[in-house]
């Protein structure tokens, strides 16, 4: 492994590219989401645990300094990376990882929501395989940007970023625990984090790593489903994002792709049903919200029946019904996406509204549709 001195410029260049990505595209997030992501980025920079909250004045001062810094670099191009004596472009994944001559680290790069560039460098923890798909778990992150997706596919390799996943679990549990949602209680039941019927913060802290490690397959099998489903091709979503980034078309397209991954016969819910993972089912229901919940109405009734009799047949039937219905939605989106570049945007938007949003109950019928 290269010494820390040898790696330092390499890491600094990756982090600089992360900073440029944040400077360019932090505006894709709502204010609430951006504050959460900045808070977690602050914790990472300061070496804090998910449950360690900074002083408000310190965080606000850090955010102001970060935004001022972003203003100075937003127009910069991403830096090339020097690895193994070569100068490589930051998206040359295979070449960069090969040039590292170091099997203890993984470099990642790609595009996430609304084409925001994602870069990271992290230490490898473990290799696995799921349904024939290669999986790698990474831990300590040496460079990262604010999106920090905790699960992704890179050149056919499923990557789980464990540190980012720890923050995701902590934040999600804190957000929903006050809602008394039955699914989160069900999910946490087996982890011994309740005291006198109330979720205990200290017990949750001590159990967080156990929860993350035992529930990691939820995210692995989501990526398996995404890799194996051949209905909603990545090219379709890329065409949509490239032309309509940050719009309802992108968000619905992503949600349909996610639901198809979850309900694929080798995907997330098939794994949960096969392994009889009650805690994982509870977490899935807890994390299912927004557009994905709209696309999977069958799961609500199935969950209520399952809680009453613990019959996994209810969940399996809901999975199959959701898969079949969203196949049809995906086909409609694919047809509409083929219009991009050939037909006026207004026509595409009207068709998307009438053929996708209205049937899903996401928009009222109207003669014209405009994206804000």
Pairing state between β 133-144 and 157-161: parallel
Please tell me the predicted confidence (pLDDT) of residue 14: 97
Please tell me the predicted confidence (pLDDT) of residue 233: 80
CA distance 185 to 199: 9
Instruction: Enumerate residues 6+ apart whose C-beta is below 8 A from 332.
Output: 355, 356
For the chain, the structural domain boundaries read: 4-161, 222-357
Tens-of-pLDDT digits for all 372 residues of the chain?
334 444 589 999 999 999 999 999 999 998 999 999 999 999 999 999 999 999 999 999 999 999 999 999 999 999 999 987 889 999 999 999 998 877 899 999 999 888 899 999 999 999 999 999 999 999 999 999 999 999 999 888 999 999 999 999 999 998 875 554 789 989 999 999 998 888 899 999 999 999 999 999 999 999 999 999 988 888 888 889 888 888 889 999 999 999 999 999 999 999 999 999 999 999 999 999 889 999 999 999 999 999 999 999 999 999 999 999 999 999 999 999 999 989 999 999 999 999 999 998 886 444 333 332
What digits encode the pLDDT tens for the residues 299-326?
999 999 999 999 999 999 999 999 999 9
CA distance 239 to 243: 6
Please tell me the predicted confidence (pLDDT) of residue 181: 74
Please tell me the predicted confidence (pLDDT) of residue 131: 95
> CB atoms < 10 A from the CB of 210, how many?
12
Please tell me the predicted confidence (pLDDT) of residue 365: 46
Q: Tell me the CA end-to-end span of the chain in Å, nearest whole number.
A: 50
CA distance 285 to 186: 10
Please tell me the predicted confidence (pLDDT) of residue 329: 95
274, 281 Cβ separation under 8 angstroms: no
Please tell me the predicted confidence (pLDDT) of residue 366: 44
Please tell me the predicted confidence (pLDDT) of residue 103: 83
Please tell me the predicted confidence (pLDDT) of residue 219: 97
């Amino acid at each position: 492994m290269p010494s820390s001195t040898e790696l330092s410029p390499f890491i600094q260049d990756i982090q600089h590219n992360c900073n440029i990505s944040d400077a360019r595209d932090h505006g894709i997030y709502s204010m609430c989401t951006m504050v959460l992501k900045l808070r977690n980025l602050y914790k990472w920079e300061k070496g804090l645990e998910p449950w360690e909250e900074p002083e408000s004045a310190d965080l606000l001062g850090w955010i102001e300094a970060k935004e001022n810094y972003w203003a100075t670099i937003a127009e910069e191009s991403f830096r090339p990376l020097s690895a193994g004596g070569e100068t490589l472009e930051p998206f040359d994944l295979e070449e960069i990882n090969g040039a590292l001559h170091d099997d203890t680290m993984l470099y990642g790069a790609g595009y996430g929501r609304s084409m925001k560039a994602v870069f990271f460098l992290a230490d490898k923890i473990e290799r696995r395989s799921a349904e024939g798909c290669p999986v790698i778990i990474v831990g300590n992150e040496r460079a990262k940007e604010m999106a920090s997706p905790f699960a992704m596919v890179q050149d056919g390799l499923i990557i789980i970023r464990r540190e980012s996943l720890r923050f995701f679990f902590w934040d999600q549990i804190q957000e929903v625990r006050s809602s008394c949602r039955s699914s989160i209680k069900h999910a946490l039941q087996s982890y011994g984090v309740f005291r006198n019927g109330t979720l205990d913060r200290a017990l949750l802290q001590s159990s967080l790593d156990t929860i993350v490690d035992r529930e990691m397959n939820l995210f692995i099998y989501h990526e398996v489903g995404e890799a194996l489903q051949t209905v909603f091709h990545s090219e379709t979503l890329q065409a949509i994002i490239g032309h309509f980034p940050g719009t309802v078309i992108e968000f619905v397209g992503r949600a349909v792709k996610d639901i198809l991954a979850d309900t694929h016969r080798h995907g997330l819910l098939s794994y949960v049903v096969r392994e009889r993972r009650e805690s994982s089912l509870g977490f899935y229901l807890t994390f299912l919200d927004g557009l994905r919940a709209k696309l999977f109405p069958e799961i609500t009734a199935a969950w209520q029946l399952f809680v009453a009799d613990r019959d996994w047949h209810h969940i399996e039937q809901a999975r199959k019904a959701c898969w079949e219905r969203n196949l049809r939605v995906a086909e409609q989106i694919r047809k509409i996406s083929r219009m991009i570049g050939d037909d006026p945007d207004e026509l595409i938007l009207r068709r998307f509204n009438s053929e996708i949003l209205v049937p899903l109950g996401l928009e009222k019928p109207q003669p014209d549709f405009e994206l804000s």
